[in-house]
Amino acid sequence: MDNLSTASPAGASLMTDNECRPSQADSAARWSVAAVEALFGLPFNDLLFRAQQVHREHHDANAVQLSTLLSIKTGGCPEDCGYCPQAARYHTGVENQALMSLEDVVAAAKQAREHGATRFCMGAAWRGPKQRDLDRVAEMVRAVRGLGMETCATLGMLKPGQAGQLREAGLDYYNHNIDTAEDNYANIISTRDYGDRIDTLEQVREAGLHVCCGGIVGMGESRNARAKLIAQLANMDPCPESVPINNLVQVPGTPLNGTDKLDPLEFVRTIACARITMPRAMVRLSAGRQELGDAVQVLCFMAGANSIFYGEKLLTTGNPDVENDRSLFARLGLKPLAPSV
Ligand code: SF4
């Protein structure tokens, strides 16, 4: 059951500013769950104002990174993530498809680049890649990087050496979300645990790859669980360079279909908390953007989101079409961020 209660203005006035700030006890600032919860509880205008201040200190306030996500291997996944239509065990109508060919992936990347995307993410529905599949993905990474785009891959859990192989092929980012708060993890997924995620993230860091790591909200979790998710991300040392925040897309046939919908303003609060606690990260509006509508997306940009997935499909669920995004950007005076590679 969501706890959407917010501090009243009177309550907020009792809150000292230190309650909303990281502890400086160690050399690295750490965010306590209580401090993140205090941020969540700020009056909405105060929270967005603070997020805007942090955002403008570290980023171009009117530039948004455009990323395209291509599902290079769809469906048939042996995992049981309760939100995912690609899990083989759920009857969602998503068919098990083979790994795409190199030629088709390169053609899709070129098309994404023509539409203005600067980052190309390749996602595969695996528990983890078999070595022969990883060899093929490494070729895809090499080819997409050769087009001058930033590259990102999300392939599941990695075995020792695989992150290094992807790095050598030219991969810039590896995406591996922690999904939800550690103590909520077993409510969402049973085929792996939180420690498995951390293990792969450590391998990714050791290989010299940038980390793309975020989570999903709107899965019936409490505000406390959302604060724990944000604190866990913010306290990674270093914290992820890219932080996708997903809003659950409910798909018939998945266990989380029918979950109480999250208040859209609570989603905006989550974006603002991510921005404040991870000032330098690219905070990405990811799955669920279509359901938010233009007005809530605008609030998300004001709250510090500066990256979106762009294109017709986000893995297997819809994404606002390219023309709608272009129109929204024009109305807001937003410009696409140039690639950093
Ligand atoms: S989220 Fe990824 S690992 Fe989980 S079922 Fe879907 S494809 Fe598999």
pLDDT in tens, 93-140: 898 899 999 999 999 999 888 888 888 999 999 999 999 999 999 999
* 47: containing domain: 9-16+29-336
Question: Residue 142 C-alpha to ligand 1 middle, in angstroms?
Answer: 24
4 assigned to some structural domain: no
Q: Reply yes or no on whether the pLDDT at 333 is more than 50.
A: yes
Ligand 1 centroid vs 152 CA: distance in angstroms? Answer: 17
The angle formed by the CA atoms of residues 275, 280 and 285, to the nearest 5 degrees, is 45
* Amino acid type, 47: L
Q: Which of 77, 213, 239, 273 is catalytic?
A: 77
What's the CATH code of the domain at 109?
3.20.20.70
pLDDT above 60: residue 318: no
Higher pLDDT, 315 or 327: 327
Is the pLDDT reported for residue 16 higher than 90? no
For residue 313, the model assigns a pLDDT of 55
Tell me, what's the pLDDT at 67? 83
Amino acid making up residue 310 = Y
Note the pLDDT of residue 337. 83
Q: Residue 15 pLDDT more than 60? A: no
How many angstroms does the Cα of residue 52 sit away from the middle of ligand 1?
34
* pLDDT over 90 (residue 326): no
> What atom of ligand 1 comes closest to residue 125's alpha carbon?
7
Least confident window among 79-88, 212-221, 248-257, 285-294: 285-294
Catalytic residue check, 20: no
Which pairing describes strands 307-309 and 210-212: parallel, antiparallel, or unpaired?
unpaired
Question: Model confidence at 336, in pLDDT bands (50, 70, 90)?
Answer: confident
The CB of 86 under 6 Å from ligand 1? The reply is yes
Q: How far is the CA of 78 from the centre of ligand 1 (A)?
A: 8
Is pLDDT at 43 greater than 90 in this prediction? Answer: yes
If you average pLDDT over every residue of the chain, what do you get? Answer: 88
Of 20, 152, 213, 239, which one is the catalytic site residue?
A: 152
Cα–Cα dist 145/311, whole Å: 19
pTM of the model: 0.88
Written as six digits, the tokens of 240 are 């992820």
72 lines ligand 1 (CB under 6 A): no
Q: What separation in Å is there between the alpha carbon of 119 and the centre of ligand 1?
A: 22
- What percent of the chain lies above the pLDDT cut of 90? 74
For the beta carbon of residue 22, count every other beta carbon within 10 angstroms.
18
Residue 223 in any domain: the answer is yes
Residue 136 counted as domain residue: yes
Question: Average pLDDT in the 61-90 region?
Answer: 92
AA letter at 132: R
Q: Is the pLDDT reported for residue 27 higher than 80? A: no
Residue 1 falls within a domain, yes or no? no
CB distance 43 to 65 below 8 Å = no
Question: What confidence category does residue 29 fall into, taking pLDDT thresholds of 50, 70 and 90?
Answer: low
DSSP notation for 310-336? -SSEETTEE---HHHHHHHHHHHT-EE
Q: Token pair for residue 297?
A: 């997306």
**Beta-strand relationship, 335-336 and 119-124:** unpaired
Given a contact cutoff of 8 angstroms between Cβ atoms, the answer to whether 284 and 315 are in contact is no
CA distance linking residue 232 with residue 230, whole number of Å: 5
Residue 82 Cα to ligand 1 midpoint, Å, equals: 9
Q: Is residue 77 in contact with ligand 1, taking CB distance under 6 Å?
A: yes
pLDDT of 175 > 70? The answer is yes
Give me the catalytic one of 121, 213, 273, 300: 121
Nearest-angstrom CA–CA distance, 231 and 210: 19
Our answer to whether residue 239 is catalytic in this structure is no
Of 208, 195, 283, the C-alpha closest to 241 is: 283
**Residue range 203-221, pLDDT digits in tens:** 999 999 999 999 999 999 9
Domain-embedded: residue 21: no
Check residue 286 and give its pLDDT.
86
Mean pLDDT over 73-101 rounds to: 92
Residue 300 annotated as catalytic = no
Q: Is 152 a catalytic residue?
A: yes
Place of tokens 């991969």: 171
Q: Is residue 97 part of a domain?
A: yes
- Whether 24 is covered by a domain: the verdict is no
Q: How many domains does the chain have?
A: 1
Pick the catalytic residue from 119, 269, 275, 284.
Answer: 284
23 falls within a domain: no
Would residue 212 show up in a list of annotated catalytic residues for this protein? yes
287: pLDDT strictly greater than 90: no
- Whether the pLDDT of residue 4 is over 50: the answer is no
Non-local CB neighbours of 316 within 8 Å, separated by 6+ positions: 71, 74, 75, 85, 86, 94, 251
**pLDDT tier for residue 319 given thresholds of 50, 70 and 90:** low
* pLDDT at 247 exceeding the cut of 90: yes
User: From atom 2 of ligand 1, which residue's Cα is the shortest distance away?
Assistant: 125
Instruction: Please work out whether the CB of residue 79 comes within 6 Å of at least one atom of ligand 1.
Output: yes
